[in-house]
């Protein structure tokens, strides 16, 4: 999976939460960032590989099965669909469909109003957990329950609860939206 | 206990289990998370250690040198420009036979300024008298910390050890790591109890002037001691396996070299990418393999000669360059095979400044290895 965000928007935390959930389910993951300009607000990627055995491959991901777009303003300057596999699933943080020039006919694009969900539950525009919930809904990779458990362990009481609510709403938005 | 953590945290937790009495460091990307983690452990009271904030890496290295000289177990970490600023002290630490353990989170050197990964920083200090270990993954990075203290403080060694891990790829990359229980670490690593230390009740000095009458012998002794670590390291890794139940660290690792017609020699996390690519090429019927250098200094020449004895074509992949010469591992390998006929040994330089090394890069190196013999061929240059 390739995550598109700006530095400071929590892409690495998103990848870490997902990887930890996979690890808790007995799988293996390797999550890592790639910074461009290495400063807040600059476009960056986080990547995560998931497998049932230890991962040795260290290169970046050029042909993702999944793409997560945390910040939709990036699509003006960044080709978020670059190299995606023919049957890739792309989860984009947006209330409404955006114009994306897709060369692959089979890719599935899902729009989730993650920022609105986050504002409602967290009061801050951090849509990452809502997007993760959406990802759990559209992939067989990880269970929503595992993500909830990871959030519960990672964040203190109230923040965890709010994020779990955002996770669930993201999940619903993707499977019912 | 297994956890999903980044390499920096794995190293910080391993260091914490070794209970250094003094830690000093100056933050520099991408090493920062290691010492941030340790500072937090000290602040939380989980680690009883004196954390000394300093104004530069030169001071950080000087603080740990002073602390180890009075008999404290110490730790520091750095990267790139920070490591290079330390270098004056780095050489002194080895010359005074001080068992300092440090982590080098590998990053390119300026100029131009570049925060991304390659091995140029630690490679520039290969001649300093430090043992250098290169980790392939986060588990090994943590395990090498325990082994580094064990080796450094061995009365037969008393030499500093640098554990190198690739910046971002490992330091900021999260994967499953098994952090051992404290009792196993206690069993593996005895308390640091040096026979010689600075003591106000019994004054002495380290690092005094040695003129032409003595210097040659002292350098010879240090050289010999660093080389002798080649016999200590296999015992340490065997003991590590006995206590922790896993193979980790060591001198070199052979991967699918039996019957190999082509092999790549390299170090660090790129070896994981090479292993995966070797598997793909093997599945296509190509006889290829990897020799991974874990201990680069001292240079395990005999083991390398044995491991590659039957491999006719050898590519050395260096993520560093001795500007105006060749890649450093390539030069060492050529020297090791000097006078031994029937080998093609080519040197390739890739991945400088964080340029991604992909399976295609590795395939390209194997492809070029079949061509003319080269010494310093850069891979992936843009026109």
B200 part of a folded domain: no
Shortest CB distance from B173 goes to which of A30, A35, A54?
A30
Statement to judge: residues B218 and B314 lie in one domain: no
Q: If you average pLDDT over residues A21-42, what whole number do you get?
A: 91
Q: What are the phi and psi torsion angles at B56 (to 5°)?
A: -165, 165
Coil, helix or strand for B12?
helix
* Chain B residue with minimum CA distance to A35: B116
Q: What is the pLDDT of residue A36?
A: 77
State whether A38 and B172 contact (CB < 8 Å). no
Q: For residue B239, count CB atoms less than 10 angstroms from its CB and return exposed for 0-12, middle for 13-18, buried for 19 or more.
A: middle
Structural domain includes residue B185: yes
- Tokens read off for A175: 């499977």
CA distances B187 to B17, B54, B150, B242, Å, are 12, 33, 11, 11
**What is the rounded average pLDDT of the residues A65-82?**
95
Contact B174 A15 (CB under 8 A): yes
From the CA of A33, how many Å to the nearest CA of chain B? 7
Please state, in angstroms and rounded to a whole number, the distance separating the CA atoms of residues B117 and B123: 13
Q: Report yes or no on B197 lying in a domain.
A: no
Beta carbons of B305 and B314 less than 8 angstroms apart = no
**Which of B1, B29, B119, B175 to substitute to test the interface with A, most A CBs within 10 Å?**
B175
Least Cα separation, residue B339 to chain A (angstroms):
36
User: Are B225 and B359 in the same domain?
Assistant: no
Coil/strand/helix, residue B335: helix
**Backbone dihedral region for residue B22 (phi beyond 0: left; psi -120 to 50: alpha; all else: beta):** beta
Task: Record the tokens describing residue B379, joined without a space.
Answer: 């891979």
B141/B283 same-domain check: no
Confidence of residue A177 (pLDDT cuts 50, 70, 90): low
Q: What six digits make up the tokens of B154?
A: 């061995």
End-to-end CA distance of chain B: 49
Determine phi and psi for A85, rounding to 5 degrees: -70, 160
Residue B383 resides in a domain: no
Domain harbouring B55, CATH code: 3.40.50.970
Residue A165, chain B, CB below 8 Å: the answer is: no
Measure A56 CA to nearest chain B CA, in Å.
4
Q: How far B140 CA lies from chain A's nearest CA (Å)? A: 12
Q: Three-state DSSP class for B20?
A: coil
Whether A59 and chain B come into contact, CB under 8 Å, resolves to yes
> In chain A, what percentage of residues exceed pLDDT 70?
99
Q: Please report the pLDDT score of residue A26 as a whole number.
A: 96
Gap between the Cα atoms of A98 and B243, Å rounded: 57
pLDDT in tens, B238-253: 999 999 999 999 999 9
- Residue B300 belongs to domain spanning: 252-378
Let me know whether B229 and B271 are in one domain. no
Which pair of tokens denotes residue B27? 């933050």
Is B330 part of any domain?
Answer: yes
* Same domain, residue pair B121 and B157: yes
Comparing CA positions, the residue from B24, B23, B70 lying closest to residue B193 is B70
CB < 8 Å from B in window 12-51 of A: 12, 15-16, 19-20, 23, 28-35, 38
Average pLDDT over all residues of chain B: 97
CA B272 vs CA A106, A163, B292, B359: distances in Å: 32, 35, 10, 10
pLDDT greater than 90 at residue A84: yes
Q: Are B316 and B274 in contact (CB under 8 A)?
A: no
Q: Are residues B96 and B237 in the same domain?
A: yes
Residue A127's nearest CA partner among A82, A162, A153, A177 is A162
Domain assignment of residue B202, yes or no: no
Chain B residue with Cα closest to A150: B4
CATH number of residue B359's parent domain: 3.40.50.920
Q: Do B176 and A33 touch (CB under 8 A)?
A: no
CA distance B48 to B50: 7
Structure tokens given for A98: 């955006």
Residue A4 tokens, joined: 């598109």
- Number of domains observed in the structure of chain B: 2
Q: How far apart are CA B114 and CA B93, in angstroms?
A: 28
Q: Shortest CB distance from B272 goes to which of A23, A29, A57? A: A57
Q: Give dist(CA B163, CA B134) in Å, integer.
A: 6
Cβ contact A69:A75 at 8 Å: yes
Residue B101 and residue B216 share a domain: yes
Pairwise CA distance, residues A59 & A82, whole Å: 16
Residue A55 touches chain B, beta carbons under 8 Å: yes
Q: Which of B111, B164, B118 is nearest to B356 (CA)?
A: B118
Indicate whether B322 and B275 sit together in one domain.
yes
Give ipTM to 2 decimals. Answer: 0.95
Distances (CA, A) of B289 to B244, B276, B304, B337, B344: 28, 10, 13, 18, 15
Q: Which residue has the tokens 């023919």?
A: A86
For residue A35, what pLDDT band results from cuts at 50, 70 and 90? Answer: confident
CB contact under 8 A, A15 and B276: no
CB-CB neighbors (< 8 A) of A32 in chain B: 168-169, 172-174
Minimum distance, in Å, between the CA of residue A5 and any CA atom of chain B: 17
Query: Which residue of B4, B115, B272 is in closest CB contact with A58?
Result: B272
pLDDT in tens, A85-98: 999 999 999 999 98
Q: Are residues B155 and B131 in the same domain?
A: yes
One domain, residues B135 and B183: yes
A2-176: CATH topology is Pyruvate-ferredoxin Oxidoreductase; domain 3 (3.40.920)
Within a domain: residue B82?
A: yes
Q: Are residues B48 and B93 in the same domain?
A: yes
Query: What residue in A sits closest to B272 (Cα-Cα)?
Result: A56
Q: pLDDT under 70 in chain B at which residues?
A: none
For tokens 């919930």, the residue is: A133
For residue B23, the model assigns a pLDDT of 98
Residue A100: what pLDDT?
Answer: 83
Nearest CB to B273; choose among A15, A38, A59: A59
Which of B168, B172, B359 is nearest residue A59 as measured by Cβ atoms?
B359
| Residues B236 and B295 placed together within one structural domain of the fold | no
């Amino acid at each position: 999976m390739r995550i598109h965000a700006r530095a400071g928007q929590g892409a690495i935390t998103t990848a870490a939460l997902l990887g930890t959930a996979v690890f808790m389910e007995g799988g293996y993951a390797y999550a890592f960032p790639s910074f461009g300009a290495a400063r807040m607000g600059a476009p960056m990627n986080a990547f995560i590989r998931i497998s049932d055995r230890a991962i040795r491959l260290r290169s970046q991901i050029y042909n993702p099965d999944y793409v997560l777009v945390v910040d939709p303003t990036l699509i003006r300057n960044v080709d978020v669909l670059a190299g995606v596999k023919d049957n890739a699933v792309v989860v984009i943080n947006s209330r409404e469909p955006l114009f994306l020039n897709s060369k692959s006919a089979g890719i599935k694009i899902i729009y989730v109003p993650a920022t609105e969900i986050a504002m409602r539950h967290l009061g801050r525009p951090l849509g990452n957990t809502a997007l993760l919930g959406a990802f759990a809904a559209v992939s067989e990779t990880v269970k929503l329950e595992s993500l909830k458990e990871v959030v519960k362990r990672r964040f203190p009481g109230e923040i965890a609860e709010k994020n779990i609510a955002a996770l669930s709403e993201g999940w619903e938005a993707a499977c019912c939206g | 206990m297994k956890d999903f953590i980044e390499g920096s945290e794995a190293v910080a937790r391993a260091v914490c289990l070794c209970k250094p009495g003094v830690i000093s460091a100056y933050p520099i990307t991408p090493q920062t998370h290691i010492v941030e983690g340790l500072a937090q452990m000290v602040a939380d009271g989980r680690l009883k250690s004196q954390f000394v904030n300093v104004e530069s890496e030169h001071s950080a290295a000087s603080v740990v040198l002073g602390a180890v000289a009075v008999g404290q177990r110490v730790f520091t970490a750095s990267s790139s420009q920070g490591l290079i600023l330390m270098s004056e002290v780095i050489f002194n630490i080895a010359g005074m036979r001080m068992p300092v353990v440090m982590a080098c989170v590998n990053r390119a050197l300026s100029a131009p300024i570049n925060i991304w990964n390659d091995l140029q920083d630690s490679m520039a200090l290969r001649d300093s008298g430090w043992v250098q270990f290169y980790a392939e993954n986060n588990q090994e990075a943590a395990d090498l910390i325990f082994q580094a203290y064990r080796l450094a403080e061995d009365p037969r060694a008393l030499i500093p050890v640098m554990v190198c891990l690739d910046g971002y790829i490992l330091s900021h990359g999260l994967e499953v790591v098994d952090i051992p229980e404290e009792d196993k670490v206690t069993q593996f690593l005895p308390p640091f109890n040096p026979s010689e230390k600075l003591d106000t009740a019994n004054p002495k000095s380290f690092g005094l002037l040695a003129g032409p009458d003595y210097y040659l012998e002292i350098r010879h002794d240090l050289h010999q001691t660093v080389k002798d670590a080649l016999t200590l390291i296999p015992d340490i890794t065997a003991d590590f396996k006995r206590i922790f139940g896993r193979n980790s660290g060591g001198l070199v690792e052979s991967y699918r070299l039996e019957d190999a017609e082509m092999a790549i020699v390299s170090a660090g996390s790129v070896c994981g990418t090479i292993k995966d690519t070797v598997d793909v090429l093997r599945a296509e019927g190509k006889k290829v393999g990897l020799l991974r250098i874990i201990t680069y200094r001292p240079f395990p020449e005999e083991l390398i000669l044995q491991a590659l004895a039957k491999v006719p074509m050898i590519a050395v992949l260096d993520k560093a360059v001795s500007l105006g010469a060749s890649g450093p591992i390539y030069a060492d390998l050529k020297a090791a095979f000097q006078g031994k006929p029937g080998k093609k040994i080519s040197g390739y330089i890739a991945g400088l400044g964080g340029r991604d090394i992909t399976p295609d890069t590795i395939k390209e190196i194997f492809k070029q290895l079949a061509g003319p013999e080269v010494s310093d061929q850069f891979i992936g240059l843009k026109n």
